[in-house]
A and B are shown apart, each in its own frame.
Chain A
Amino acid sequence: MTATRTIVFSPDQLAEVRRLQGLYPDKRGALLPVLHMAQDAFDYVSLEVQEYVAGLFDMAPSHVHEVVTFYTLYFQQPKGRHVVAVCHNLSCYLAGSREILAHVKQRLGIGVGETTDDGRVTLQSVECLCACEAAPMMQVDDRYELNLTPEKVDRILGELR
């Protein structure tokens, strides 16, 4: 993770921000989508990123901060190259998610909310992702990984670089 990085969108990204803002009766409607963009571009939504995004919306940084801290998908700290989110809600619990989570922790050598030393994986334990028919399950970055077994978890984790 590099320590310094210029927090500025490219001209193309700025055009996309303007396009998104134009989709809503009040441009503030585009705040969540633009924060998703910012996280993709800058890895996480630091205070500096929040201040930059606030400028794009003519908002006070505190109002952007209030939004960022409300939602679970915005990271305010550096995260791993991959995010593994194990569901721990009811149907997954009934299908053995506790054992799956324990297995993931042990394989990665980290706890929930932590990132491996090599910056490869951040581990989360999350509420219902609504794939209960295929419990236990977890989300790995953009994908749902379903019907987990310890062996399947090993294979999935092993493929993360």
Chain B
Amino acid sequence: MAEIVLMRNFGRQDSHTLAGYRATGGYTAWEKAKGMEPAAITEEVKKSNLRGLGGAGFPTGMKWSFVPKTHTGPVYLVINADEGEPGTFKDRYLLERDPHALIEGMLITARAIRSAKGFVYIRGEYVQPWRIFSGAVKDAYDAGLLGNGFDIVVHRGAGAYICGEETGLLSSLEGKKGWPKIKPPFPAIKGAFGEPTVVNNVETIACVPPIINRGADWFAGLGTKTQGGTRMYSVSGRVTKPGVYEDSCAVTLRQLIHDHAGGVSHTGKLKAVVPGGGSAAILTADEIDVAMDVDGLKAKGSMIGSAGVVVMDESVSIPEALLVLARFYAHESCGQCTPCRESTGWIYKMVHRIVDGHGRKDDLDTILDVAKRGGGTTICAFYDGAIGPYISYIEKFRGEFEALCRS
């Protein structure tokens, strides 16, 4: 098992306090970064192979480098703490147990991208994380860490999964409904309030202080060739010990399920696993010897996404599990693009009909056809995420669906 980097302070009672954070070396990376040129910070993060841990897996340093150097107006740093991907709960732990790691990471990132203002967008349901993080921000102001060239505004969302999509989040931050925006322009060019903006996930930015303190080579060496570091895996569903586990990006799905989460519960026999949050294509029991990094799962036709692992044992009905997710996508589609708005609603109805025993076998091909035609036709990746489960659940477990259908 790899070194614990992100969760290193979680065992301390005072891990959420400034004193507790300082006692474990907190804010020393910020002291070091203050002596570095902004471009040198970005270069270090590029070299570390840190990739976005919210879902898309985009190289973080490269994202920062897209902010125009010649821009003279404000640049914003926006933290995506709108955690909502089914099966994911890591950012909640970071906000509650190590809020200063995020604040320190923001200070360093802000220096790299020359930002004087950051927004932390926390999902509206996360009241306790919002309170704890807001308290940490206040303490950081009182200690003079904030307010001297960089300010943080803590912003509460109001209940909408789509606001976890970075441009939907920006619309919401601007006081609008959370409709994603057409790219380009990308947020780094024209983001929050029309200004260049870097949007990063909580966990991604919590990786920045250790990278600055201990160097890019050390961080890169923790992971795989194309993704540095460790990350926090949320493991839930039919396992003996559900929880959040930190390990290298090179850990395999089998190791996570068996070594960390105590193995499969209920029947004890694995049927399927969602490897990267609800929107990731499902894997069968014989597909779990896969490295849990961006490229490892891409090679298996799935995605690491937010690293939310949901385990299903032999007794789980795959059609019913798909029904749960189909309802979710139908409910959360923002309604802006026709293929997504219409297909999520109709596919939910069709899966419902199948689970209720009124489906026909050709319904399955209709769902697959509709799902495959819609991919890549919408403004954001929400629908591309929805078709991951639609297609993989039906293609990999077709017999289970057919058994429920009338001929």
- Which residues of A are interface residues toward B (Cβ below 8 A)? 23-26, 28-33, 35-36, 57, 66-67, 70-74, 88-91, 93-95, 127-135, 139, 142-144
Contacts and interface: CB of A to CB of B under 8 A. Distances in A.
Interface in B167-190: 172-178
Contact of A128 (B85, B127, B160, B173): B85
Interface string B348-380: 000000000000000000000000000000000
Which of A33, A90, A139 has the most chain B CB within a 10 Å cutoff?
A90
Interface of B: 74, 83-89, 91-92, 123-128, 153, 155-161, 172-178, 192-193, 195, 234-238, 242-244, 274, 278, 308, 310, 312, 316, 320-321, 324-325, 327-328, 331-332, 334
A72 B242 CA distance: 28
A33 B177 contact: no
Contacts of B321: 90, 93-94
Contact of A130 (B84, B172, B175, B274): B84
Given A74-B159, A130-B84, 9 more contacts: A25-B193, A66-B176, A71-B157, A71-B160, A127-B84, A128-B85, A128-B87, A132-B310, A133-B234
Nearest to B327: A88
A95 to B, nearest CB: 8
Contact of A90 (B176, B235, B324): B324
A127 B332 contact: yes
Contact of A132 (B89, B195, B331, B332): B89
A69 B235 CA distance: 33
6 contacts: A36-B156, A67-B175, A71-B178, A72-B160, A91-B236, A130-B126
B83 A130 contact: yes
B88 A132 contact: yes
A30 B156 CA distance: 10
Contacts of B192: 25
Given A90-B310, A91-B236, A133-B244, A127 B86 contact: yes
A95 B331 CA distance: 21
Contacts of A35: 158
B111 to A, nearest CB: 20
Nearest to A31: B175
A30 B175 contact: yes
A70 B84 CA distance: 16
A73 B159 contact: yes
Given A89-B324, A90-B87, A90-B310, A29 B173 contact: yes
Contacts of B334: 70
A132 B156 contact: no
B310 A28 contact: no
A133 B278 contact: no
A72 B328 contact: no
Given A73-B125, A73-B158, A135-B242, A90 B174 contact: no
Contacts of B308: 132
A8 B43 CA distance: 52
A132 B242 contact: yes
Contacts of B325: 89-90
Given A29-B175, A73-B125, A24 B328 contact: no
Contacts of A26: 174-175, 193
Contacts of B92: 130-131
A74 B158 contact: yes
Q: Closest 9 A-B residue pairs measured CB to CB?
A: A31-B175, A72-B159, A132-B236, A71-B158, A70-B177, A28-B175, A73-B159, A91-B236, A142-B127
Contacts of B159: 71-74
Nearest to A141: B127
A86 B397 CA distance: 29
A140 B192 CA distance: 33
A60 B174 CA distance: 16
A77 to B, nearest CB: 16
Contacts of A32: 155-158, 172, 175
B181 to A, nearest CB: 15
Given A25-B193, A132-B242, A91 B310 contact: yes
A89 B278 contact: yes
A32 to B, nearest CB: 5
A50 B101 CA distance: 38
B386 to A, nearest CB: 13
A125 B33 CA distance: 46
B128 A143 contact: yes
Contact of B195 (A25, A30, A66, A71): A25
Contacts of A139: 125
Contacts of B193: 24-26, 29
Contact of A133 (B74, B176, B235): B235
A88 B158 contact: no
